[in-house]
């Protein structure tokens, strides 16, 4: 199959329990080595196969993982802590080796298991860009060519010649993510690193991931953010106890995962909501949102930011299969993706060119001052939880107070009699 | 009138045209099975990373120190002074007709190079734990970078030797042309031992305590404070089993040219280093499969 990006066949990984937590001391090994023959003899007498009957306890972090990813796909991997998500990514990144099975990756692999791997606090931002780039597998000439772009993306131009130990943590991750985002990879393995920076930068990172994907980059995304899975992925795998329990539509994988969260360890796993289904991905990558913009409605601040009682006019165009039917979704979320409100349109059809023009108005935002993300998305008509594509814009609501005080703002007219004004006649 | 709009992304021309699968590099991931090849070709592909890691180590080494690179000079110079005073003046250790300070400094130069390189490389894998558990690259890059970063200190300390030789009026002969070979031998000795120790260090942190002790003993086993001519002639090839004996005597011969060429002893030293090095490379490659799991 020529458009294959990743193929895993029966990948399994066994760990010795405790091996990861502590290192052995030479003395232990020596005593172990000295007593080994005796244990072996005893085991043989007991009818064992020569290996110690009660050998080192082991666990299978991954068992029989098989899946294929096509080029240009965005695959989300979800699962509870310890389900084996990171182990899988480590095997695909060639950091650790599988105990059994095989995996093949076609294309240059970029893995982002951590933001800023190899950053040295004493080196300047500029030096770290080069060092980190080299560590991630870029050539020096390639880094030099992209240097300005990397720095511009990170927005730390002013401090680029300052040692990164003087950076704020936000600046640090922004610079680190920028280097990684400019890696020329065909296959990108990403582990939870997108939870970086402030709202605006988060949105920028997500958009970058989407744009990389539009350029044909295959992406494997390990995440705990269901919102990320919904907006960025076309397909998701849910892992549990080192096995693939669900492989198919993101919404169904999320449903399965949420079922898992309700059960506790040892209880029976939830029944599959539906059989793995990949038919829904037939039109993968065909939809996109373009010309996404926001304009004031009502009164905005002089700085061009909306106020709590301002309105917002949202316009975007959607590109999709000619004559196909979708629902449009507008959603406002917190910087981390917690939804505040959503509005879903009735089903609409694209014209013969495959485009839809949409304009929508929110009369009053009713949001407390603070940072937000505005999402526009195309959803499937059959199941509106199934997002075909999404795009986001960060925005800030201005005014006194902040989001910490409350989730929503509302207009309140006060009618109170002030004792001082009435002269204290009572 | 404010308008916010989504970021427009420039499409990278290299990425825009997705290459056909046939042209794409293929990464095959298979279970690790015991001994593997050295894969030096891949190491060559990552030569830029090697240079960057060396550059980082050099750049960072004397950051936030008051004396900075002067440390590279202070250590061998003070050792030389102490050696000259106690071994040269008081104990009257023979020095093959070379002024004792020059005699000692000629030996301390490769010794310090070796000792630092050994300490750096044997600790290198554990010190770069974050890299090992987060990014793929040929692991051999790490101990090699650890060894090579010491060359800058060596070059700085070397300037003092030029001053010393001028002071004692010693003019080097043609033999100085062979010096790079002995520098190489010192580096390879440190790498050979460093490979074993750095791989062992991942599993047994005992190595951390061993290295300092080992270097100390090794110093006295090497002809740094005394000439190898103290060792009876027929035992000298055996003495060469300590590769640093060959290195140190080679340095003296190359720099001052008064001592006899360390023939048989040197040959033994080179053979030992090559054996240790090849063994170390294969051992390291075998152990690196489990680095990320054990470290």
Q: How many Å apart are CA A310 and CA B268, to the nearest integer?
A: 86
- Comparing CB atoms, the residue among B2, B16, B134 nearest residue A95 is B134
Say if residue B102's pLDDT is above 70. yes
- The secondary structure of residue A72, as a DSSP letter, is T
Using 50, 70 and 90 to split pLDDT, how confident is the model at B45? Answer: confident
Q: Which of B29, B141, B291 to mutate to test the interface with A (most CBs of A within 10 A)?
A: B29
B234-288 pLDDT tens trace? 888 888 899 999 999 999 999 887 777 788 889 999 999 999 999 999 999 988 8
Q: What number of residues does chain A have? A: 426
Q: What is the sign, positive or negative, of the torsion defined by CA atoms of A203, A204, A207, A213?
A: negative
Using 50, 70 and 90 to split pLDDT, how confident is the model at A56? Answer: low
Instruction: Output the six-digit token pair for A52.
Output: 């110690």
Q: How many Å apart are CA B192 and CA B143, to the nearest integer?
A: 10
Cα of A411 to nearest chain B Cα, Å: 24
Mean pLDDT of A190-209: 71
Say what the pLDDT of residue A301 is.
Answer: 87
Mean pLDDT of A63-69: 91
Mean pLDDT of A190-207: 70
**Helix/strand/coil for A191:** strand
Q: Does B233 touch chain A (CB under 8 A)?
A: no
Using 50, 70 and 90 to split pLDDT, how confident is the model at B189? Answer: very high
Q: Tell which wins on pLDDT, B94 or B34.
A: B94
Nearest chain B residue to A22, by CA:
B294
Instruction: Output the six-digit token pair for A235.
Output: 């397909």
CB B213 within 8 A of CB B137: no
Cα of B147 to nearest chain A Cα, Å: 18
- Comparing CB atoms, the residue among B4, B9, B203 nearest residue A395 is B4
Residues of A in contact with B49 (CB under 8 A): 134-135, 137
Contact call for B204 and A107, based on CB within 8 A: no
Residues of A in contact with B9 (CB under 8 A): 207-208, 211
Q: Does A35 touch chain B (CB under 8 A)?
A: no
Instruction: Output the six-digit token pair for A36.
Output: 């080994």
B190-202 pLDDT tens trace? 999 999 999 999 8
Instruction: Output phi, psi for A17, to 5 deg.
Output: -65, 135
Say if residue A283's pLDDT is above 60. no
- Comparing CB atoms, the residue among A117, A122, A137 nearest residue B63 is A122
Between helices B179-203 and B141-148, what is the axis angle to 10°? 130
Q: How many Å apart are CA A314 and CA A293, to the nearest integer?
A: 6
E strands, B62-139, are none
Using 50, 70 and 90 to split pLDDT, how confident is the model at B20? Answer: very low
Q: Does B23 touch chain A (CB under 8 A)?
A: no
Query: Residues near A174 by Cβ (< 8 Å), separated by ≥ 6?
Result: A154, A155, A156, A196, A197, A201
Instruction: Output the six-digit token pair for B184.
Output: 């190489």
Say what the pLDDT of residue B6 is.
Answer: 36
Q: How many Å apart are CA A104 and CA B27, to the nearest integer?
A: 6
Say if residue A299's pLDDT is above 70. yes
Q: Tell which wins on pLDDT, A48 or A146.
A: A146
Contact call for B204 and A26, based on CB within 8 A: yes
- The secondary structure of residue A18, as a DSSP letter, is T
Q: Tell which wins on pLDDT, A280 or B263.
A: B263
Contact call for A134 and B6, based on CB within 8 A: no
Q: How many Å apart are CA A119 and CA B131, to the nearest integer?
A: 10
CB A95 within 8 A of CB A113: yes
Question: What is the DSSP track for B134-176?
Answer: H--S-TTHHHHHHHHTHHHHHHHHHHHHHHHHHHTT----GGG
Contact call for A97 and B6, based on CB within 8 A: no
Q: Does B41 touch chain A (CB under 8 A)?
A: no
Instruction: Output the six-digit token pair for B201.
Output: 């260090």
A117-131, A336-350, B203-217, B270-284 — most confident range: B270-284
Kindly state the percentage of chain B with pLDDT values over 90.
Answer: 42
Tell me what percent of chain A is helix, strand and coil, each rounded to the nearest 5. Answer: 25, 35, 40
**Helix/strand/coil for A194:** coil
Residues of A in contact with B16 (CB under 8 A): 215-216
Say if residue A18's pLDDT is above 90. no
Say what the pLDDT of residue B183 is.
Answer: 95
E strands, B224-294, are none
Q: Please, which residues 235-294 of chain B have a Cβ atom closer than 8 Å to chain A?
A: 289, 292-294
Q: How many Å apart are CA A91 and CA A106, to the nearest integer?
A: 15
Mean pLDDT of chain A: 79
- The secondary structure of residue A407, as a DSSP letter, is S
Q: Tell which wins on pLDDT, A11 or B96.
A: A11
Q: What number of residues does chain B have? A: 295
Mean pLDDT of B40-57: 89
Using 50, 70 and 90 to split pLDDT, how confident is the model at A314? Answer: very high
Task: Please choose, from the candidates A157, A211, A206, A151, the residue with its C-alpha nearest in 3D space to the C-alpha of residue A176.
Answer: A151
Query: Residues near A281 by Cβ (< 8 Å), separated by ≥ 6?
Result: A73, A234, A235, A249
User: Which CA distances in Å does A52 have to A41, A42, A197, A357?
Assistant: 9, 8, 51, 70
Cα of B48 to nearest chain A Cα, Å: 7
Contact call for B204 and A23, based on CB within 8 A: yes
Pick the range with the lowest mean pLDDT from A90-99, A200-209, B54-63, B180-189: A200-209
Q: Please, which residues 121-150 of chain A have a Cβ atom closer than 8 Å to chain B?
A: 122-123, 127, 130-131, 134-137, 139-140, 149
Q: Please, which residues 292-331 of chain A have a Cβ atom closer than 8 Å to chain B?
A: 292-296, 300, 303-305
Pick the range with the lowest mean pLDDT from A12-21, A152-161, B199-208: A12-21
List b or e across A78-110, with b for residues whose CB sees 16 or more CB atoms inside 10 angstroms: bbbeebbbbbbbbbbbbbbbbbbbebbbbbbbb
Q: Tell which wins on pLDDT, A126 or A177.
A: A126
Mean pLDDT of B125-154: 90
Say what the pLDDT of residue A199 is.
Answer: 65
A337-344, long-range: CB < 8 A, 24+ apart: A337/A225, A337/A227, A337/A228, A337/A373, A338/A227, A339/A227, A340/A367, A340/A372, A340/A407, A340/A408, A344/A379, A344/A384
CB atoms within 10 A of CB B166: 10
Q: Please, which residues 86-125 of chain B have a Cβ atom closer than 8 Å to chain A?
A: none
Say if residue A267's pLDDT is above 80. no
């Amino acid at each position: 199959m020529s458009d294959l990006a990743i193929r895993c066949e029966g990948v399994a990984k066994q760990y010795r329990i405790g091996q990861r937590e502590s290192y052995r001391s030479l003395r232990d090994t020596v005593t172990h080595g000295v007593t080994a023959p005796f244990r072996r003899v005893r085991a043989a007498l007991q009818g064992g196969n020569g290996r110690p009957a009660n050998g080192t306890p082991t666990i299978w972090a991954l068992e029989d993982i098989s899946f294929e990813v096509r080029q240009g796909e965005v695959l989300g991997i979800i699962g509870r802590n310890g389900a084996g998500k990171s182990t899988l990514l480590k095997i695909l990144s060639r950091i650790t080796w599988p105990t059994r099975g095989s995996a093949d990756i076609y294309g240059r692999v970029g893995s982002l298991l951590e933001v800023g791997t190899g950053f040295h606090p004493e080196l300047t931002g500029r030096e770290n860009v080069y060092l980190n780039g080299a560590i991630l597998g870029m050539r020096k000439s390639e880094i030099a060519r992209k240097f300005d772009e990397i720095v511009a993306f990170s927005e730390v131009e002013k401090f680029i010649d300052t040692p990164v130990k003087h950076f704020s943590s936000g600046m640090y991750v922004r610079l680190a993510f920028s280097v990684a985002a400019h890696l020329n990879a065909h296959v990108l393995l990403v582990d939870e690193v997108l939870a970086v920076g402030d709202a605006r930068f988060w949105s920028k990172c997500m958009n970058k991931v989407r744009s990389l994907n539009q350029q044909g980059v295959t992406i494997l995304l390990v995440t705990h953010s269901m919102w990320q899975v919904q907006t960025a992925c076309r397909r998701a795998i849910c892992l549990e106890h080192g096995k693939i329990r669900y492989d198919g539509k993101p919404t169904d994988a999320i449903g399965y995962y949420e079922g898992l969260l309700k059960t506790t360890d040892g209880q029976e796993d939830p029944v599959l909501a539906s059989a793995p289904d990949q038919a829904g991905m037939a039109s993968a990558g065909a939809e996109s949102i373009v010309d996404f913009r926001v304009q004031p409605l009502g009164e905005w601040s002089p700085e061009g930011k909306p106020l709590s009682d301002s309105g917002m006019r949202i316009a975007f165009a959607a590109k999709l299969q000619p004559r196909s039917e979708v629902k449009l979704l507008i959603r406002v979320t917190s910087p981390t993706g917690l939804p505040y409100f959503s509005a879903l349109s009735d089903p609409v059809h694209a014209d013969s060119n495959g485009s839809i023009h949409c304009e929508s108005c929110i009369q009053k935002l009713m949001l407390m001052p603070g940072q937000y993300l505005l999402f526009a998305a195309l959803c499937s008509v059959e199941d509106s939880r199934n997002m075909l594509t999404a795009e986001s814009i960060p925005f800030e609501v201005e005014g006194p107070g902040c989001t910490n005080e409350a989730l929503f703002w509302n207009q309140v007219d006060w009618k109170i009699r002030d004792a001082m004004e009435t002269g204290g006649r009572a | 009138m404010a308008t916010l709009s989504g970021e427009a992304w420039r499409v990278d021309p290299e990425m825009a045209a997705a290459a056909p699968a046939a042209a794409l590099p293929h990464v095959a991931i298979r279970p690790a099975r015991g001994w593997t090849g050295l894969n030096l070709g891949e190491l060559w592909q990552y030569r830029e990373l090697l240079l960057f890691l060396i550059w980082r180590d050099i750049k960072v080494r004397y950051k936030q120190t008051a004396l900075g690179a002067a440390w590279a000079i202070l250590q061998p110079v003070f050792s030389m002074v102490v050696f000259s005073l106690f071994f040269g003046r008081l104990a009257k250790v023979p020095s093959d007709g070379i002024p004792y300070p020059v005699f000692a400094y000629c030996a301390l130069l490769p010794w310090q190079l070796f000792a630092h390189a050994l300490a750096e490389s044997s600790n290198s894998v554990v010190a770069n734990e974050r890299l090992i558990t987060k990014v793929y690259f040929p692991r051999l890059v790490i101990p090699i970078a650890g060894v090579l970063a010491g060359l800058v200190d060596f070059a700085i300390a070397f300037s003092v030797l030029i001053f010393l030789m001028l002071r004692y009026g010693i003019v080097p002969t043609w033999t100085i042309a062979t010096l790079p070979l002995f520098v190489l031998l010192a580096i390879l000795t440190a790498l050979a031992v460093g490979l074993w120790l750095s791989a062992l260090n991942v599993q047994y942190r005992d190595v951390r305590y061993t290295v300092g002790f080992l270097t100390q003993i090794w110093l006295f086993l090497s002809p740094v404070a005394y000439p190898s001519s103290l060792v009876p002639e027929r035992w000298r090839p055996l003495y060469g089993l300590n590769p640093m004996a060959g290195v140190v005597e080679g340095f003296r011969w190359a720099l001052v040219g008064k001592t006899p060429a360390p023939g048989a002893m040197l040959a033994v030293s080179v053979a030992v280093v090559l054996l240790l090095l090849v063994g170390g490379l294969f051992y390291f490659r075998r152990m690196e499969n489990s680095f990320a799991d054990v470290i």
